[in-house]
Every structure is written in C-alpha cells, then in structure tokens.
Amino acid sequence: MKSAAAPGRQRRSAAVVPPPSGIASMLSKRVVGQPSALEAIVPYVQVYQAGLAPEGRPAGVFLLLGPTGTGKTKTVEALAEVLHGSEKCLLRVDCGEFQMEHEVAKLIGAPPGYLGHRETQPMLTQQKLAAATSEKSSLALVLFDEVEKAAPSLTRLLLGILDKATLRLGDNTTVNFERSLIFLTSNLGSRGMMKELRPDFGFTAGAVPPRVDMDRKLESIGTGAARRKFPPEFLNRIDRVITYRPLGERALAEILDQHIADFQRHVGARLGPNTVDIEVPPGTRRVLLRKGASPACGARELKRTLHRHLTEPLAALVSGGALEPGCCLRLVLNERDGRLVLEPETAAAPADDGY
C-alpha cells in the first residue's frame, strides 16, 4: 500500500513543487483543508488526460480513510463537478445497501434462466459507466461509498475490477473499467482516530502533539484497520491509500462560509425578483460553528444546522408574505434566550467583531 503523506513528500523543497494545475485549484476551492489528499489524486487525472494511463487496469484506485465528515465523499463529488460539470455525474454504489450476499448480486444481475433475470437491471453496466462521463471528459468516476459495510462478496467482485479493469455480469458480458477512477471510501479506524483526537476521553492529557505527528498516527490507525479488514491481495491493488485529516477551526469556518454563500445563491435563483439579502455576521457564524461542527461529525452537520437556523426561519417569513423584495435580513443571536433570530436589518445594526 502506498500512502499519501509519505515523509519525502513533505520535505520536498518549494522550488520543485509544480504550480497547481487547473484541476487542483478548482478542487481545493471545493474540498477544504485536505491538500495532501488532492495532491495524491490529481496526478492520476492528469496521467489519464495525457493519454498515459496503463492498459488493462483502471486509471486509478484510491482508498479514502479518515474521520467522518472530513470530505472523503465530497472529494469525489467535487471531482465530478470539475470534470463533468455536475456533482452527480458519477457511478455511485452505497455499500451500506449491499450488506447481504444476495444484495451484491444486484450489482451484476442474475444469470439467464435464474429468477429475476429479466426484471433486475444490473447496477454496474457499461451503459451506466458511460452515463457517468460527459462531453467534457471520458473519465468515469466510480464511488464505492463506505465499502467496509458491504458483504465480503463485494470485495471479491472488486478484485477483478481493480486488477484487470473488468467485471463479468450475470449474463456473461463484461464491463470495462479502464477509463475510470475507482474510489473506495471507508470509516475504518475512525473510532480509534477519535480516541487519538480527543485524549480527554482517557487520561492522556498534556501537550497537543504537532499536526504532522497526528496525521501520521491517524494514518497508521487507518491503514492498520484496513489491513485487518481486507485481504492483502485486495490492498495491493490500491494505488493510493489516503487518510483525511480532521478539519481544523479555519477549515470549518471556510466550509461554513461556502455553505452560506451557496445558500444566498440558491435564494437568489429560487425567489427571483422577490429575492432578499441575507447577512450572517461573524459572531453568528461562530455560534453556527459551535452548534454544527464537532470532532465526531466534522463538517457533516453544518448543512443541517444552517437549514434549521436559516432556511426554516426564512421560509416562514417568505410564506408569511411580509417580506419586502430586496430587503436585507440579518441572522443574530438573541442574548436573552441564546436563540438565533432572522430579523430585518435596521439602520442601527450592532457592530460585530471578527471570527
């Protein structure tokens, strides 16, 4: 198994680091705080685009490990957006839906003559793979999300895809995965990682270890868990094992800012001429971060927190019909009861300090 954060990579001098490619910079705007993950993935896209990908195997196979809500699934969605123009343009298998052996059969379809042969369309066909490409790129992204949840026969089925880029379907036809990047995401080891990140669970209080040491520790917890779960012949077929870092305060704040900007665009698109401006002052953003971000869930709950404290109150105001088109609303903390309230901006708005 090759690992993304090889020590040599960190010691590389600034002078020899190539300038970030278009893809790398577009990706890093969407996936925050995971530079080494993106550094590991982007070259495989470039090798494919240059026509240099090997024959007889997928253009790249990645195992993405790390704590929940740190951007593993988001990375594949963001790459789909960058390559094909839509986050949804990928072939996605939610492995949690294939926990039983008979469910795995749905991926390849039943052989002719077997029950369900006609009714069940296999999920992994050449047509479905082609549907995950676009005019912009012929590279299909295939995501096996939370792969540790699937029945063991999925691992066997994956062996053929990872090794020879082919999958034999129930009707004996084959699917070719040479023009695809395969991503396997997994929460393997994330409990052990949490313990490492929250030493207050035990009695190992003291100095917080430097970031590089922590990254290495998490990486070894992740790869150790992967070794216990998957056979060596499976792990040997993976090009890069990448451990995502826990997101720091700055990264989480940046993700929240993105969500708020996305929400304002969404409001503009949906309300059209009746749109309103929404202001979320820095102090309120801090409150939203406290409510929505945690080491246990990373950035995963931030969207739900915004929905509750911003989308829902705005919807109530819109459906009440009392909003002036073009007015400005501000989300503020009511000091008395600690609630966030969305109120029309008045001339005398309270001053707010930075983050």
| Binding to Mg ion, residues 291-350 (CB under 5 A) | none
Tell me whether residue 73 or residue 284 sits nearer to Mg ion (CB atom): 73
Rounded Cα gap, residues 223 and 66, in angstroms = 10
CB neighbours of 196 closer than 8 A, spacing ≥ 6? Answer: 214, 217, 218, 221
Interface residue with ligand ADP, options 23, 142, 299, 332 (CB under 6 A): 299
CA distance 330 to 59: 48
CB of 176 to ligand ADP, least distance (A): 28
Counting contacts by CB under 5 A, is residue 125 touching Mg ion? no
Q: How many residues bind ligand ADP (CB under 6 A)?
A: 19
Query: Smallest distance, Å, CB 20 to Mg ion?
Result: 25
Site for ligand ADP in 1-60 (CB under 6 A): 31-34
Instruction: Count the alpha carbons within 13 Å of 43 in the hemisphere toward its beta carbon.
Output: 11
Site for ligand ADP in 49-78 (CB under 6 A): 68-74
CA-wise closest residue to 132 among 143, 145, 144, 120: 143
Binding map of ligand ADP across residues 233-272, x = CB under 6 A, - = no contact: -----------x--x-------x-----------------
Q: Which helix (H) or strand (E) holds 233?
A: helix 232-235
Select 125 or 185, whichever has its Cβ closest to ligand ADP.
185
Q: Which two tokens stand for residue 120?
A: 């069940």
Alpha-carbon gap, residue 32 to 341, rounded angstroms: 28
Tell me the window of 20-28, 40-48, 73-81, 172-180 that interacts with Mg ion (CB under 5 A).
Answer: 73-81
> Which residue has its beta carbon closest to Mg ion?
73
The candidate with the shortest Cα–Cα distance to 114, out of 155, 172, 168, is: 172
User: Residue 185, interface with ligand ADP (CB under 6 A)?
Assistant: yes
What's the CA gap between 192 and 225, in Å, rounded? 9
Establish if 73 lies at the interface with Mg ion (CB under 5 A). Answer: yes
Helix (H) or strand (E) holding 150: none
Q: What is the rounded distance in angstroms from the CA atom of residue 300 to the CA atom of residue 296?
A: 9
Q: Which residue number is nearest to ligand ADP in terms of Cβ? A: 71
Footprint of ligand ADP (CB under 6 A): 31-34, 68-74, 185, 244, 247, 255, 298-300, 303
